[in-house]
Chain A
């Protein structure tokens, strides 16, 4: 296990298209987080899962965004009808435990460009 992995690493799409990103957490990590990072900003929390349950969603996560973690292992983040404002780096992180102080391990990110 080499850590959190994300696929694809880069995605270029046209406005209005749907895109889906995948995150594979570290094995046995029960928590999985999604963040979005735009140029010059820090990561912005989008949502997180404890096992397969989605426990929190940021107001940043509009109706066009949906995330799943069906078996409590990998997760997908789908963006429907992409807009140019969706262009960003999408980061995934995972942790083991149930405390907010548990270390989050980040993936390399998926860079989305919407033309």
Chain B
């Protein structure tokens, strides 16, 4: 069963515009949700996790259990935000991890 769905493969926004990358999940219980980012020619790295309720590089993500969503948002996109973004879920036991298919974000100058 698909655990994590990222409906947009590609997303383009203009610099300074708000950006939202969608993520929906399917899992019973209380999973842990994450956003990972991969910049060009760099390794996959953690951007943020829902449990920390933090803002990283201006990005935030709120876990909505009713809608089973964990959308990533930023009010003003910057060119350096252009990257591939993956939503990920950790199962109850923490012994398995599920990644979405990713959204490629392009910020147009």
A interface residues (Cβ-Cβ under 8 A, vs B): 3-4, 33, 35, 40-45, 48, 55-56, 58, 91, 93, 99-101, 103-109
Contact = CB atoms under 8 A, between A and B. Distances in A.
B1 interface: no
A42 B32 contact: no
A42 B46 contact: no
Interface stretch (B60-68, B75-83, B97-105): B97-105
Interface residues of B, number: 25
Interface of B: 4, 6, 9, 32, 43-46, 49, 51-52, 86, 88, 90-91, 93-102
Contacts of A44: 99
Contact of A101 (B49, B86, B96): B49
Which of A3, A45, A100 lies at the interface centre, i.e. has the most chain B CB atoms within 10 A of its CB? A100
Given A104-B46, A108-B43, A42 B95 contact: no
B32 A101 contact: yes
Which of B9, B44, B88, B96 lies at the interface centre, i.e. has the most chain A CB atoms within 10 A of its CB? B44
B96 to A, nearest CB: 5
A58 B99 CA distance: 14
Given A42-B101, A58-B96, A107-B43, A100 B86 contact: no
A103 B43 CA distance: 14
A44 B49 CA distance: 19
A48 B95 contact: yes
A4 B86 CA distance: 20
A2 to B, nearest CB: 11
B90 A101 contact: yes
B96 A106 contact: no
B43 A42 contact: no
